[in-house]
Chain A
């Protein structure tokens, strides 16, 4: 989880440096001189989208919104793995764009009160094979958004005059995670989690704009449909990726596990059996039942076992076998 520092009036906040995480492969778009090619028309469109979102939440009168663009962390992105979640019962969304040009979107509406005995969660999904131009545009748009720096400048103070400074906040908490991968496996992951508010708009809005551009690739409306092997593979990639996640995002992923978990993710799921929250433990149990193909939630007579007994049983199941005696 990465949180940006509050913005300051006098100094532009280098959001890219603060929230960029996990750039691997060492390649960046800028050549040795430090520059990179800028598409003025593209950046104007991205700036417009960014500015609108900042304006929507900014409540201090008379501010000036300044947007600049650096070089994308991945110069030629080709693949995307992205995740978003919204608190207070909001959706958990998974988005993947493969190098072969297939876009898939999965959406889960978390259960208010998940149980050991309940049906698996309902997942809606969409897949599409967008035109190459559409993919290229979405990737460029998202990359530019993620390479932007937003600075909100107050109007200058006037001695004797009344000034108003305001912070707007909402109870909408959201988490966003976008991983772009380019040629040669160079990748960059950006994350944000927090409440939708004005103070952190500079850190949040670039990811929101990038997310929306990429989500459109999945095309039409999401519909209930059986999950496919690539869905399970995307789930594994997300679960295995590093970085702490807020609880409501982890819980959403675990809930997806009840339909997407496979045996290779068992080691990633098992630690959640000891989470402080019983809800998290319960979701981990349901995911492990799917991943292992072994249902330990009921006793021999078919009755539900206490949660503590079930988590212990799955921990034992996941434990490595004892070393052979010599």
Chain B
């Protein structure tokens, strides 16, 4: 098991965002990230295959991380940062669960690994959607504070995401 974050979960600042003059779709800011797993396929004791030497990286994608000029605010950064923290927490789950991926062939293991990665991406997005719905994309201050406390609670509970 090995996981790395670029940047650290609470290390997201405006310096990571490219300032753009306009957004084609009108939104104020966007954060993009990759959840990536690297691994090898090796034979397992039962004659099948499993993953080995695996590593997970959750990394910002600079080309997909931007803010419209004049829109920077502490509230907007806090909102985007919590999306990022949620992604890193789900990345930890992926790292923990890759060890369980096995199959009777390398094709089957690849399929299972891809399914797991996509399921984790879906999970991060589903949590993010509930977060955006509840906070009205960060415009509801009271809900934003509730979500901040919720996610901090997960972090303080050994990074266990209590969701759904």
Are B128 and A279 interface neighbours, CB within 8 A?
no
Q: Which of B49, B115, B128 contacts A159 (CB 8 A)?
A: B49
B137 interface residue (CB < 8 Å to A): yes
Residues of B within 8 A of A158 (CB): 41, 106
Q: Which of A9, A199, A279 contacts B111 (CB 8 A)?
A: A9
Complex Cα distance A126/B87, Å?
40
CB proximity to A under 8 Å, residues B31-85: 31-43, 49, 53, 61, 64, 80, 83
User: How would residues 270 to 284 of chain A score, 1 for a CB under 8 Å from any chain B CB and 0 otherwise?
Assistant: 000000010100000
Residues of A within 8 A of B133 (CB): 247
Residues of B within 8 A of A8 (CB): 111, 114-115
Q: Which of B1-9, B19-27, B147-155, B156-164 contacts A (4 or more CB under 8 A)?
A: B19-27
Complex Cα distance A266/B39, Å?
58
- Beyond A6-B122, A247-B133, A279-B136, is A165–B114 a contact (Cβ under 8 Å)? yes
Are B111 and A172 interface neighbours, CB within 8 A?
no
A69 interface residue (CB < 8 Å to B): no
Are A6 and B128 interface neighbours, CB within 8 A?
no
Are A164 and B121 interface neighbours, CB within 8 A?
no
Are B40 and A171 interface neighbours, CB within 8 A?
no
Complex Cα distance A113/B139, Å?
8
Are B129 and A165 interface neighbours, CB within 8 A?
no
Residues of B within 8 A of A (CB): 23, 25-43, 49, 53, 61, 64, 80, 83, 87, 106-107, 109-111, 113-115, 117-122, 124-125, 128-129, 132-133, 136-140
12 contacts between A and B (CB under 8 A): A9-B111, A59-B61, A86-B27, A88-B138, A112-B139, A159-B41, A159-B43, A159-B106, A168-B32, A173-B132, A174-B25, A247-B133
Inter-chain pairs besides A169-B32, A169-B121, A195-B128, 19 sampled, C-beta below 8 Å: A8-B111, A9-B110, A9-B111, A10-B107, A88-B28, A88-B30, A157-B106, A158-B41, A158-B106, A159-B40, A159-B41, A160-B42, A164-B37, A165-B110, A166-B36, A169-B87, A172-B30, A173-B129, A194-B125
